[in-house]
Structure 1
Amino acid sequence: MDQVILDKLVANFPGKIVRKDLTKKIKEGANVPVYVLEYLLGMYASSLDEQLVEKGVENVKNILARNYVRPDEAEKVKAKIRENGGYTVIDKVSVSLNERKDQYEAEFSNLGLSAVRISEEYPKKYDRLLGGGIWCIVQMEYWFDENDQQNSPFIARKVDPIQMPGLDIEEFKRGRAAFTEKEWIDVVLRSVGMEPTQFDERVKWLHLARLVPLIENNFNLCELGPRGTGKSHIYKEISPNSILVSGGQTTVANLFYNMARRTMGLVGMWDTVAFDEVAGINVKNGDLIQIMKDYMASGSFARGKEEKNASASMVFVGNINQSVDVILKTSNLFEPFPEKMGTDSAFLDRIHCYLPGWEIPKYRPDFFTNDYGFITDYYAEVMRELRKTTYSDAIDKYFKLGSQLNQRDTVAVKKMVSGLIKLVYPHGKFGKKEVEKVLKFAIEMRRRVKEQLKKIGGMEFFDVNLSYIDLEENHEEYVSVPEQGSGKLIPEGSGKPGHIYSASIGTSGRIGAFKFETQMVAGNGKFKATGLGSDSGAKEKADSAYKYLNANAVTINSSISMITHDFVFNTQDLNGVGNPIFLSLPTMIALCSVSLNKPVVASMAVLGDITIGGTLIRVTNLADMMQVARDSGAKKILVPMANAADLATVPPELMSTFNIIFYSTPEDAVFKALGVE
């Protein structure tokens, strides 16, 4: 670590920092969260003096050896409590109300004890004991009463949750002022255990974005990516204020409100509720998604006769099993979600930020820091305190958001800007350049959500060109997402004769782009359609186009000879939507193109179709077809004249990106596709 940063940490945050390699050394022997270890290290080993640190580490090891309850030694510890009449343990404790006895009872995770009597002062003082449980240092007592067989002889006499005793947020803000932006980002990353020198700036900011749900109220984040990139680490290990729900079924009562007990669920107890392995979420209860949508949009939900409010952020993390390029061509980036969530555009629209987990490299041992950072428990409390303030208006002085950002987009971007500013500039000192950097990043994270919604929900989510306007220079800047910029399906420039692109509905019911390639060799008039699998209907459509052209070739060009050549026609499904429903017209154009050795007009996509008799078939969902064609890279589009009236349904922004060419007969379509006047 840079000595300058260390000196600044020591001067501004005495007793609040710890060497992270100490955590790693002890963590290997005790399966407790990082914040538990660092709470103890902060008490005994927060020093720069090597001898004091060593002594403190020994103390922590001894405390853990004596008091931390390992599940396999639970019976030994219970025996100690009985023999000694009392004993201090470190364990995860959750509390519930036994209404039949009118008393609170504690359950110890590792000790395996339940129905342990506990004073009502503790659940009143620490309400998270009632929702999921928290790690505590507990003085246990044992009192067996022959006349009272109903109650457990174990009693939780004194309970101290493992969290910082107090926090001066102004002192924290004053301390931040001593650091540069780069130095501060490095300190934050080291505080959550990462080594910033191993990451470029982009990856550092992606790591910071993972912390936004902990520092911003009601912030909904999704991160999908490869395994081994630390997606759930932050929410499980770093903060005592977040809870990680591991897959499986979760209920409305557990998550929101238990009507029978009249108690709040997890969203009322925790700052962040994170769902691990989203693919495994079991959403049998139809109400769950509906209530989640309500809560994610407004921070409130209705149960019974009243409306409840909570401030917990929602996080969804999971694995992507294919490369992003493949997923973008064949599906959408929300594919790992359970079907009821992943196809519900209203649910997905409430996600404020989609973090591209595939950009974070798989963790190696040297990604974890050995240097000084904040005690995680201290920094977790700082983040919790900063949830009370907001910087969502920070952009208003310098920028305004573009016209394509709707209300949900605006809320999402402003929440993310606020969270990132609190992480990087908690002292409130930042200028136009700093705000612009944060704003660009926030818009990109929201646009990733919109791009996928456009694939799932069609024209309803057409407005994806998110931008911001510089008020000083009156200049509009559009923000794109890196993965959308990868190679277009329809390349620029002229292709080979016989190659043609179209947009069509596939057999799956989804719209996709298709490429057709035709080869011609000397022969006696044979035609073969490939790439259609065993779909006899599709092959018949291609065959009918060949027969129509055979009968009408002379009306197009007398030099087209169908009986002296053999043709092979191949179909490629570029988006994985199944064989195209509209196939005959592209087949006919491709056959003419290869016969005349004339390529199709550059960057063109063909829409519409013909029957076996040559009657034109109009396009039923023109706007969606045009959107897919544009996303695939088309600059020109061939449309049946019968669809001219439907252009009123196409957004002007979409229409303006095309040169639209109408055709009125199959022969007219061929001429215009080949650029023949």
Structure 2
Amino acid sequence: MSDINRKLRTYFDGKIVRKDLTKSIKEGANVPVYVLEFLLGQYCSSDDPSIIEEGVANVKRILADNYVRPDEAQKILSLLRQRGSHTVIDKITVNLNIKKDTYEAEFSNLGIKAIPISEDYPSKFDRLLCGGIWCIVQLEYEYIEEDKNASPIHIRKLTPIQMPHVDINELKQGRKAFTKDEWISVMLRSIGMEPDTLTEREKWLLLARMLPLVENNFNLCELGPRSTGKSHLYKEISPNSILVSGGQTTVANLFYNMARKTVGLVGLWDCVAFDEVAGINFKDKDGIQIMKDYMASGSFARGKEEKSASASMVFVGNINQSVDVLLKTSSLFAPFPPEMGTDTAFLDRMHCYIPGWEIPKFRPQHFTNDYGFISDYLAEFIRELRKEQYGDALDKYFRLGKNLNQRDTIAVRKMVGGFIKLLYPDGEYTKEELEEVLKISLEMRRRVKEQLKKLGGMEFYDVNFSYIDNETFEEFYVSVPEQGGGKLIPEGMCNPGQVYTVAQGKTGMLGVFRLESQMMPGNGKFERSGLGSDGKCKEATNTAFNFLKANSNRISGSISTTTKDYIINYQDLQGIGMTDKLALPTLIALSSVALGKPVASSLAVLGEISIAGTLIKVDELANSLQVCLDSGAKKVLLPIVSAADIGAVPSDLIGCFNLIFYSSAEDAVYKALGVE
């Protein structure tokens, strides 16, 4: 018996179950996992194979004989009348009838109401009054002619199948016996995963999926390949979360039904998860606005009043392309429907973005056959932990860097608090353990901010998230793995005639364009490829060639526009549509290939010239420099007419480059080629 199992036996006996038994019965019986696991915890709590076999047989028999299927309700009632007594497994809700001053039970699958029940049960098992729980109930049937108004059905004995209440202190005491790694293993096995088949990073990402269940009003997004179990936790494991499949929904269903005056899903569940985000669709026009309001504040206005709720929002969906392609061509929020995926105000409300592409596609060996908590126990203590707050835990050892705005700070604090509740519910952790939690929390929020910067430009430029150690005052920066490497503008020398420019594409977005040139003997022809049919782009390239013809001697006597042919290929590296700001980059590319001199390493060319060689200043200078930084440029060639706009650019952005100003078209060529 492993150490972990021995400890579970000692501290959590009766609250653990072997997960392979759940799998084997679940495949044949359509009962909630938490009902099944409670019975298995009762009958199979042993390591003796014969006891387990007998226990499984018992559980199967109990389910076959006593579980009420809704379509067989009348058959069960008839059986009860014939025999005079019968035991059923059903979901029971208890209400207090104020007029009669009695408690009455309602049976979900059996479909009967107003059955008198002793007040001992609701006072002992308070969850009967809060939405109901699954129970094993012994029923009796006795019809009395004289009292026709009385119910002939009576409850002899009721035994809750779900946890009637959770002692959170018992959990906190039990946690002290486990190391951090052991506890992570227990938590992952409780949701059915086998930690021994996962890397350390994958374990943390799977734990992050549980944050919406343990934190109030937490907004999480996970996009990734298919079959990585994105929606499994919210559908199967937790009885406190609901999965909205297909995405079609209404404001009445989700938030508040004005006609019935009832609160929707956000008021009834701890967590509302949307499967397949691409299909999210509100029938009401104001649906997304109300959702934005709710995601930011946890409240929403309907009619004359404002309602509050604590449900977390989860958005899961599939990414169809590779992440590299998405990062270059659009954003990681691309799978969202257009009205959400381009709305920076909506996306800014996401606290956490789990990189689903890092989680492996699940195979049978990823699912555990070992002991974990009964799902219902796990769900209930997680629900109890929602009442506690650890958001200020990081203040003892660290503070957050200056690049985090208020929304970023709230998101990071929520995640730090959530991870602490999941991993250290007893509130005992070291500075190193807290730092580990803080790093992953900063990364999950930075992923959201990086994409916002792509979509919203300068408004979200401050993405260099960091935290500062309160003792040493050292500042540590946290990066996002997928942003590293893959720079569009490479380091080191390129071939002569290869030029990178940053400009506005046809779609209005800023991006990087590459020019690659060749020169061969000929009679002064200039060929272009990659421009498509846009006349403005061709006009700009002609401007450059005509300028070179007229002024080549002023650049260098060895450039010939009559005995050589030139070919330039134009590439739109980010799929935003070709730019028409091509005259200056084309002139630099032609001069570079004609002279056999490469442009300076890591250089981005900004600015444009007219046919007469007049300099045209850069539009959106701050945003353009941000794109240069993201693309890997170290030097930036700028027209002197843009110098006046430098004041509007954040100083830490300017500090990232060697800015090279040019005062004429010829000057730009000299400085790009490093000729003084």
* Same fold (TM > 0.5): yes
For the Cα contact (< 8 Å) 2:249–2:283, is it kept in 1?
no
For the Cα contact (< 8 Å) 2:251–2:282, is it kept in 1?
no
Q: Which residue of 1 aligns with 2:100?
A: none
For the Cα contact (< 8 Å) 2:495–2:598, is it kept in 1?
yes
Task: Write the distance in 2 (CA, Å) between the matches of 1:365 and 1:543.
Answer: 62
Closer, same or farther: CA 259–438 of 1 in aligned 2, 3 Å: same
Closer, same or farther: CA 81–670 of 1 in aligned 2, 3 Å: same
3-state SS of 2:288 partner: helix
The AA in structure 2 aligned to 1:184 is W
3-state SS of 1:286 partner: coil
For the Cα contact (< 8 Å) 1:529–1:543, is it kept in 2?
no
Task: Write the distance in 2 (CA, Å) between the matches of 1:398 and 1:235.
Answer: 34
Q: Which residue of 2 aligns with 1:254?
A: 253
Closer, same or farther: CA 33–318 of 1 in aligned 2, 3 Å: farther
Per mean C-alpha deviation after superposition, the further-off stretch among 330-339 and 524-533 is: 524-533
Please say if 1:177 is aligned against 2:180.
Answer: no
Q: Which residue of 1 aligns with 2:648?
A: 649
The AA in structure 2 aligned to 1:352 is H
Task: Write the distance in 2 (CA, Å) between the matches of 1:95 and 1:289.
Answer: 36
The AA in structure 2 aligned to 1:354 is Y
| TM-score (ref. length: structure 1) | 0.90
Q: Which residue of 2 aligns with 1:444?
A: 443
Instruction: Using the TM superposition, give the Cα deviation of residue 534 of structure 1 relative to its aligned residue in structure 2, in angstroms.
Output: 2.9
Task: Write the distance in 2 (CA, Å) between the matches of 1:105 and 1:173.
Answer: 34
For the Cα contact (< 8 Å) 1:117–1:156, is it kept in 2?
no
Q: Which residue of 2 aligns with 1:639?
A: 638
The AA in structure 2 aligned to 1:658 is F
Instruction: Using the TM superposition, give the Cα deviation of residue 284 of structure 1 relative to its aligned residue in structure 2, in angstroms.
Output: 4.1
Task: Write the distance in 1 (CA, Å) between the matches of 2:290 and 2:278.
Answer: 19
For the Cα contact (< 8 Å) 1:239–1:380, is it kept in 2?
yes
Per mean C-alpha deviation after superposition, the further-off stretch among 289-298 and 391-400 is: 289-298
For the Cα contact (< 8 Å) 1:128–1:269, is it kept in 2?
no
Task: Write the distance in 2 (CA, Å) between the matches of 1:370 and 1:676.
Answer: 70
Task: Write the distance in 2 (CA, Å) between the matches of 1:636 and 1:17.
Answer: 61
Task: Write the distance in 1 (CA, Å) between the matches of 2:477 and 2:344.
Answer: 24
For the Cα contact (< 8 Å) 1:128–1:270, is it kept in 2?
no
Task: Write the distance in 2 (CA, Å) between the matches of 1:633 and 1:120.
Answer: 73
Q: Which residue of 1 aligns with 2:622?
A: 623
Q: Which residue of 2 aligns with 1:211?
A: 210
Provide Cα deviations, 1:506-537, integer angstroms capped at 9, x if missing partner.
11111111111001111111111111233333
For the Cα contact (< 8 Å) 1:236–1:242, is it kept in 2?
yes
The AA in structure 1 aligned to 2:520 is V
3-state SS of 2:202 partner: helix
Instruction: Using the TM superposition, give the Cα deviation of residue 161 of structure 1 relative to its aligned residue in structure 2, in angstroms.
Output: 7.6
Q: Which residue of 2 aligns with 1:601?
A: 600
Task: Write the distance in 2 (CA, Å) between the matches of 1:126 and 1:453.
Answer: 45
Task: Write the distance in 2 (CA, Å) between the matches of 1:173 and 1:84.
Answer: 44
Instruction: Using the TM superposition, give the Cα deviation of residue 615 of structure 1 relative to its aligned residue in structure 2, in angstroms.
Output: 2.7
For the Cα contact (< 8 Å) 2:536–2:580, is it kept in 1?
no
Aligned-residue Cα RMSD (Å) equals: 2.9
Closer, same or farther: CA 478–223 of 1 in aligned 2, 3 Å: same
Q: Which residue of 1 aligns with 2:379?
A: 380
The AA in structure 2 aligned to 1:592 is S
Instruction: Using the TM superposition, give the Cα deviation of residue 252 of structure 1 relative to its aligned residue in structure 2, in angstroms.
Output: 1.5
Task: Write the distance in 2 (CA, Å) between the matches of 1:61 and 1:8.
Answer: 29
Instruction: Using the TM superposition, give the Cα deviation of residue 282 of structure 1 relative to its aligned residue in structure 2, in angstroms.
Output: 0.5
Please say if 1:524 is aligned against 2:496.
Answer: no
Per mean C-alpha deviation after superposition, the further-off stretch among 219-228 and 61-70 is: 61-70
For the Cα contact (< 8 Å) 2:94–2:129, is it kept in 1?
no
The AA in structure 2 aligned to 1:443 is L
3-state SS of 2:282 partner: coil
Q: Which residue of 2 aligns with 1:289?
A: 288
Q: Which residue of 1 aligns with 2:558?
A: 559
Closer, same or farther: CA 195–310 of 1 in aligned 2, 3 Å: same
Task: Write the distance in 2 (CA, Å) between the matches of 1:463 and 1:156.
Answer: 66
The AA in structure 2 aligned to 1:167 is V
Q: Which residue of 2 aligns with 1:15?
A: 14
Instruction: Using the TM superposition, give the Cα deviation of residue 128 of structure 1 relative to its aligned residue in structure 2, in angstroms.
Output: 7.1
Q: Which residue of 2 aligns with 1:36?
A: 35
Provide Cα deviations, 1:619-647, integer angstroms capped at 9, x if missing partner.
22111111111100001111122211111
Closer, same or farther: CA 47–665 of 1 in aligned 2, 3 Å: same
Instruction: Using the TM superposition, give the Cα deviation of residue 88 of structure 1 relative to its aligned residue in structure 2, in angstroms.
Output: 6.4
3-state SS of 2:390 partner: coil
Task: Write the distance in 2 (CA, Å) between the matches of 1:296 and 1:156.
Answer: 46
Task: Write the distance in 1 (CA, Å) between the matches of 2:596 and 2:154.
Answer: 88
Q: What is the total number of aligned residue pairs between the two structures?
A: 650
The AA in structure 1 aligned to 2:162 is Q
Q: Which residue of 2 aligns with 1:422?
A: 421
Provide Cα deviations, 1:357-404, integer angstroms capped at 9, x if missing partner.
000000010000000111111011110111111111111111100011
3-state SS of 1:612 partner: coil
The AA in structure 2 aligned to 1:613 is A
1:128-143 equivalences under 5 Å are: 129=131
Please say if 1:513 is aligned against 2:503.
Answer: no
3-state SS of 1:464 partner: coil
Instruction: Using the TM superposition, give the Cα deviation of residue 208 of structure 1 relative to its aligned residue in structure 2, in angstroms.
Output: 0.7
For the Cα contact (< 8 Å) 2:105–2:116, is it kept in 1?
no
Q: Which residue of 2 aligns with 1:150?
A: none
3-state SS of 1:307 partner: strand
Per mean C-alpha deviation after superposition, the further-off stretch among 501-510 and 37-46 is: 37-46
The AA in structure 1 aligned to 2:363 is R
Please say if 1:50 is aligned against 2:79.
Answer: no
Task: Write the distance in 2 (CA, Å) between the matches of 1:166 and 1:472.
Answer: 43
Task: Write the distance in 2 (CA, Å) between the matches of 1:95 and 1:590.
Answer: 80
Task: Write the distance in 1 (CA, Å) between the matches of 2:313 and 2:255.
Answer: 12
Provide Cα deviations, 1:641-669, integer angstroms capped at 9, x if missing partner.
22111112111111111111122221121
Q: Which residue of 2 aligns with 1:309?
A: 308
Closer, same or farther: CA 398–68 of 1 in aligned 2, 3 Å: same
Closer, same or farther: CA 38–554 of 1 in aligned 2, 3 Å: same
For the Cα contact (< 8 Å) 1:531–1:570, is it kept in 2?
yes
Task: Write the distance in 1 (CA, Å) between the matches of 2:203 and 2:218.
Answer: 20
The AA in structure 2 aligned to 1:323 is S
Provide Cα deviations, 1:297-355, integer angstroms capped at 9, x if missing partner.
12222222222221111111111111111100000001111111111111111111100
Closer, same or farther: CA 137–225 of 1 in aligned 2, 3 Å: farther
Instruction: Using the TM superposition, give the Cα deviation of residue 75 of structure 1 relative to its aligned residue in structure 2, in angstroms.
Output: 4.7
| TM-score (ref. length: structure 2) | 0.90
Please say if 1:538 is aligned against 2:537.
Answer: yes
Q: Which residue of 1 aligns with 2:99?
A: none
Closer, same or farther: CA 657–555 of 1 in aligned 2, 3 Å: same
Closer, same or farther: CA 526–95 of 1 in aligned 2, 3 Å: farther
Task: Write the distance in 1 (CA, Å) between the matches of 2:280 and 2:152.
Answer: 36
3-state SS of 2:468 partner: strand
Q: Which residue of 2 aligns with 1:101?
A: none
Per mean C-alpha deviation after superposition, the further-off stretch among 278-287 and 220-229 is: 278-287
1:107-146 equivalences under 5 Å are: 117=113, 129=131
3-state SS of 2:169 partner: helix
Please say if 1:498 is aligned against 2:529.
Answer: no
Q: Which residue of 1 aligns with 2:393?
A: 394
Task: Write the distance in 1 (CA, Å) between the matches of 2:380 and 2:492.
Answer: 58
Provide Cα deviations, 1:90-141, integer angstroms capped at 9, x if missing partner.
6789999xxxxxxx99896xx7x98x6567999x966875xxx987778899
For the Cα contact (< 8 Å) 1:502–1:513, is it kept in 2?
yes
Q: Which residue of 2 aligns with 1:236?
A: 235
3-state SS of 2:247 partner: coil
What are the ranges of 5 or more consecutive residues in structure 2 without an aligned counterpart? 96-103, 144-150
Q: Which residue of 2 aligns with 1:577?
A: 576
For the Cα contact (< 8 Å) 1:443–1:466, is it kept in 2?
yes
Task: Write the distance in 1 (CA, Å) between the matches of 2:116 and 2:494.
Answer: 77
Closer, same or farther: CA 511–127 of 1 in aligned 2, 3 Å: farther
